[in-house]
């Protein structure tokens, strides 16, 4: 419980930097969207691997991760965006392919992964490293949830796009478009 408590405190300027990388609902393609949830916490604290050296360097750097969940106002879709600094460029680059295993699982979701497929053809402008995964999850009461993930690093910043659709009509172009605008925002805020 201590890491969660400590994650709430830190440098106000670094918190403002994290907020600057977040989006408002009207800024995103594929809308209309509404903000459903929002969190901004110190990097390196809320992770199952919070005692490893990468997390320690993230905490020492003192930056904040900003997470925001959006729900579509017209379709059965959700969009989760996250940006967060790592302690070094190398840590961010190395985190991209392993970040899926570091994500905290929603304990309330009642479903089973039925298929996963890595997409190696995704390109996002100005991104140092990218990982894209598509996952189908079976939920007995709702059907099949199709979720596409794009995780990328830009210098020491890692971003995550998680786009879910219950109708299985979501395309990689739609997800890539969101990743492009998020990467552009990171470049702008960081001055790259």
Number of structural domains the chain divides into: 1
Q: How far apart are CA 81 and CA 14, in angstroms?
A: 18
φ, ψ for residue 36, nearest 5 deg: -105, -30
Domain residues for the domain of 50 are: 2-190
The pLDDT value recorded for residue 13 is 76
Mean residue pLDDT of the chain comes to 85
Residues in the chain where the model's pLDDT stays below 70: 1-11, 44-50, 101-109
- Residue 121 burial (C-beta neighbours within 10 Å; 0-12, 13-18, 19+): exposed
The pLDDT value recorded for residue 155 is 94
The pLDDT value recorded for residue 133 is 94
The pLDDT value recorded for residue 45 is 58
The pLDDT value recorded for residue 1 is 56
55, 56, 63: which is closest to 16 by C-alpha? Answer: 63
Chain segment 106-152, per-residue pLDDT in tens: 666 677 889 999 999 999 999 999 999 999 989 888 889 999 999 99
pTM of the model: 0.87
Which CATH number does the domain housing residue 13 bear? 3.40.1000
């Amino acid at each position: 419980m201590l890491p969660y408590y400590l994650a709430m405190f830190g440098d106000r300027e670094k918190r403002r930097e994290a907020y600057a990388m977040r989006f408002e609902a009207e800024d995103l393609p594929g809308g209309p969207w509404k903000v459903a949830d929002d969190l901004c916490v110190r990097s390196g604290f809320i992770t199952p691997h919070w005692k490893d050296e990468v997390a320690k360097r993230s905490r020492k750097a003192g930056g904040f991760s900003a997470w925001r969940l959006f729900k579509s106002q017209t379709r059965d879709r959700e969009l989760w965006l996250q940006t967060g600094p790592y302690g070094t460029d190398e840590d961010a680059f190395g985190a991209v392919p392993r970040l899926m295993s570091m994500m905290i699982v929603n304990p309330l979701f009642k479903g089973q992964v039925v298929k996963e497929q890595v997409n190696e053809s995704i390109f996002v402008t100005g991104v140092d490293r990218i990982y894209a995964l598509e996952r189908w999850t079976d939920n007995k009461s709702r059907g099949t949830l199709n979720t596409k993930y794009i995780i990328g690093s830009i210098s020491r910043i890692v971003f995550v796009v998680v786009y879910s659709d219950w109708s299985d009509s979501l395309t990689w172009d739609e997800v890539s478009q969101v990743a492009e605008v998020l990467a552009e925002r990171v470049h702008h805020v960081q001055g790259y």
